[in-house]
Chain A
């Protein structure tokens, strides 16, 4: 038993390590922020240095959705659908003031932040955020996932110990 569980945790860790260092971002770029997103993936800033260069336009192949740009009410159902199509586990980075809060478009056709519709993990402010800002945001996401899994593992461990304890007591 001990041997087996030892293998499982290590595999989990390996998987996690791989995942955190190689997000496959789905760029949901609609507006000006998408242009800055292009800067981030092109040669000068080069997100590939962190392992995040596999930009996939198909939601089925990606795990991080980067919403870059203003989302209008007309676009909202499309965004929701694409989010729903992404397989779990998935995360969302909201890039730019518009995606975070509607930005300075307090207007009749603009969503006041994408969190009206989908959960957001990291908000990157700026109009547009500088490329460094977006990279920082993605690294924050990495940390967040690490933190979350650590917590989860701790929780699971405690639960296991609890279960063992109750079994032993019985």
Chain B
């Protein structure tokens, strides 16, 4: 269902002063008193046609000068009706409590813990309100404006948190062979930095607890201390398997606030490179999740196309992984002269690798035994947990930002959104393979259309740096250059939530500007954050070896998860 941003009628049943309407630049905004929050949320989800079934994001904002210092911002979407809504709940500093929405949207669980961690707000009714990103010895709440960005606290081993997942006790439970094991955070199956503590009954996981935060690099605080352009390299390191898409997502949000029009050449290149990045990301995800189930050959097969796409990105930007190729208003540099030829060569070579892997896997008995029916989740439940992207489409929900809320050139090309219905590891794999093919389809059409002529970045001295030759030779251009470097882009006050389809799902940037040269607040909606919060629910009741396979299929990227 395409997204609409038409104003919604205010529900009448609540007292008149408990909801105020604000016109948002991007979507309707309601300011809500916390007393009615839970009732309102229930009412908003109730309608089977237009109800807001997806809690996209939940974050806090600190306004030290306001009477009610904090504000908690909820971004809601209705996948059935296409609506979008932003709720803002003011919270005073001396009574920092608001009700938890975990009963309405299960996905609120980790988001609320994050707000607690970052701002110190308490969510009444949350069953497990602990710090989530920072460590146990941490003091204070880092995203408050008065927290010094470089103030560190040292964690020693004896203070480390030791989860004790308590399995439900029932009459038949004879405690036979029960033991608790710790996997991670440094464990090959945990892809870097996740930690799962599981209580096993024989080989079956009867309870588990997930601990994250081992790669919390303070992206949001860093963004507040840098100018708008300087944030771009930080966005690379969110989902570092497809860093270009993050660049695009962030730049689009700022461009909307600035109201600048990106030249067609840059839009064209952004679309193509985003799709190549998606291919790369899916290759890494499928490759490494197959390694987890023992299928090593595919890893080599899938890493080769990725290596070749790196070649293309390196030719454009000079970097392989962390490209930082977007700029606000366009691209960092013009496309290389052999861009088209390189893309065509990639289109020739990639399908063979994908076909090979598919042939090796889809009818492979061992893989099917390991993947079919494993870590399955239904569509409705997945939405309630906040899932988006390929994992959601594997559960039968047909939602893709590129089609439902089109940006760049996606509405001008002909492509399909692959949907599978099993909701298990197997279908997540299949969705990704099909999406790689769709991406290549998009790229091919755009290449056939030809590269648009013209500039690669807007010709606006308040946004884009003037070319070097001009800056060296003309006084005016030099002044602009100086101003942009020293003061940064001056983004007008305002707020925007803008989303692109990242490789993992809806990658949203909620950007707040107060008109100073730096972002007031940037909140990323990391698509794998709500997905990973479901992990315990997915693996409980399965065997320990299934847990490993299901983690690989979710494609959780630590940089994006923990920022």
Q: A38-B303, A72-B214 are in contact. Are A31 and B150 (CB under 8 A)?
A: no
Residue in A28, A42, A74, A107 whose beta carbon sits within 8 Å of that of B303 in the complex: A42
CB contacts under 8 Å to B, within A9-47, are 28-32, 34-36, 38-39, 42-44
Q: Is the CB of A128 within 8 A of B321?
A: yes
Q: Complex: how many Å from CA A28 to CA B187?
A: 9
Is the C-beta of B463 less than 8 angstroms from some C-beta in chain A?
no
- Interface-lining segment among B17-25, B216-224, B375-383: B216-224
Residue in B147, B157, B320 whose beta carbon sits within 8 Å of that of A36 in the complex: B320
Is the C-beta of B192 less than 8 angstroms from some C-beta in chain A?
yes
Q: Mark A74-100, 1 if CB is under 8 A from B, else 0.
A: 111111111000000000000000000
Which residues of B lie under 8 Å from residue A78 when comparing CB positions?
Answer: 185-186, 214
Closest to B213 in A: A74
Q: Is the CB of A75 within 8 A of B160?
A: no
Q: Is the CB of B241 within 8 A of A35?
A: yes
Q: Name the prevailing secondary structure of the B interface residues.
A: loop
Is the C-beta of B134 less than 8 angstroms from some C-beta in chain A?
yes
Q: Is the CB of B185 within 8 A of A75?
A: yes
Q: Is the CB of B217 within 8 A of A44?
A: no
Q: Is the CB of A108 within 8 A of B157?
A: no
Q: How far is the CB of B503 from chain A (nearest CB, A)?
A: 13
Q: Is the CB of B221 within 8 A of A35?
A: no
Q: Is the CB of A57 within 8 A of B187?
A: yes
Which residues of A lie under 8 Å from residue B240 when comparing CB positions?
Answer: 31-32, 35
Q: How far is the CB of B305 from chain A (nearest CB, A)?
A: 11
Which residues of B lie under 8 Å from residue A147 when comparing CB positions?
Answer: none
Which residues of B lie under 8 Å from residue A57 when comparing CB positions?
Answer: 186-188
Q: Mark A114-137, 1 if CB is under 8 A from B, else 0.
A: 000000000000011010000000
Is the C-beta of A64 less than 8 angstroms from some C-beta in chain B?
no
Q: A-B pairs with CB below 8 Å: how many?
A: 127
Is the C-beta of A104 less than 8 angstroms from some C-beta in chain B?
yes
Which residues of B lie under 8 Å from residue A50 when comparing CB positions?
Answer: none
Residue in B213, B222, B237 whose beta carbon sits within 8 Å of that of A31 in the complex: B237
Is the C-beta of A109 less than 8 angstroms from some C-beta in chain B?
yes
CB contacts under 8 Å to A, within B120-162, are 133-135, 138, 142, 147-157, 160
Closest to A45 in B: B307
Residue in A42, A72, A80, A106 whose beta carbon sits within 8 Å of that of B216 in the complex: A72
Residue in A38, A80, A81, A108 whose beta carbon sits within 8 Å of that of B150 in the complex: A108
Q: Complex: how many Å from CA A165 to CA B526?
A: 71
Q: A39-B307, A72-B216 are in contact. Are A109 and B320 (CB under 8 A)?
A: no
Q: Is the CB of A73 within 8 A of B153?
A: yes
Chain B residues within 8 Å of chain A by Cβ, number: 49
Residue in B216, B241, B299 whose beta carbon sits within 8 Å of that of A74 in the complex: B216
Q: How far is the CB of B66 from chain A (nearest CB, A)?
A: 24
Is the C-beta of A138 less than 8 angstroms from some C-beta in chain B?
no
Q: Is the CB of B321 within 8 A of A44?
A: no
Q: Is the CB of A70 within 8 A of B155?
A: no
Is the C-beta of B322 less than 8 angstroms from some C-beta in chain A?
yes
Q: Is the CB of B134 within 8 A of A109?
A: yes
Q: Mark A43-57, 1 if CB is under 8 A from B, else 0.
A: 110000000000001
Q: How far is the CB of B544 from chain A (nearest CB, A)?
A: 17
Q: A74-B213, A75-B193 are in contact. Are A32 and B322 (CB under 8 A)?
A: yes
Q: Is the CB of B321 within 8 A of A107?
A: no
Q: Is the CB of A29 within 8 A of B150?
A: no
Is the C-beta of A113 less than 8 angstroms from some C-beta in chain B?
no
Q: Mark B263-286, 1 if CB is under 8 A from A, else 0.
A: 000000000000000000000100
Q: How far is the CB of B162 from chain A (nearest CB, A)?
A: 12
5 nearest A-B pairs in the assembled complex, by CB-CB distance: A107-B218, A32-B240, A74-B135, A77-B157, A57-B188
13 A-B residue pairs with Cβ-Cβ distance under 8 Å, sorted by A, are A30-B192, A30-B193, A30-B215, A30-B558, A43-B300, A70-B215, A72-B217, A73-B135, A75-B215, A106-B149, A107-B217, A108-B221, A128-B322
Chain B interface (Cβ < 8 Å from any Cβ of A): 133-135, 138, 142, 147-157, 160, 185-188, 192-193, 213-218, 221-222, 233-234, 236-237, 240-241, 284, 299-300, 303-304, 307, 310, 320-322, 558-559
Chain A interface (Cβ < 8 Å from any Cβ of B): 28-32, 34-36, 38-39, 42-44, 57, 69-70, 72-82, 104-110, 127-128, 130
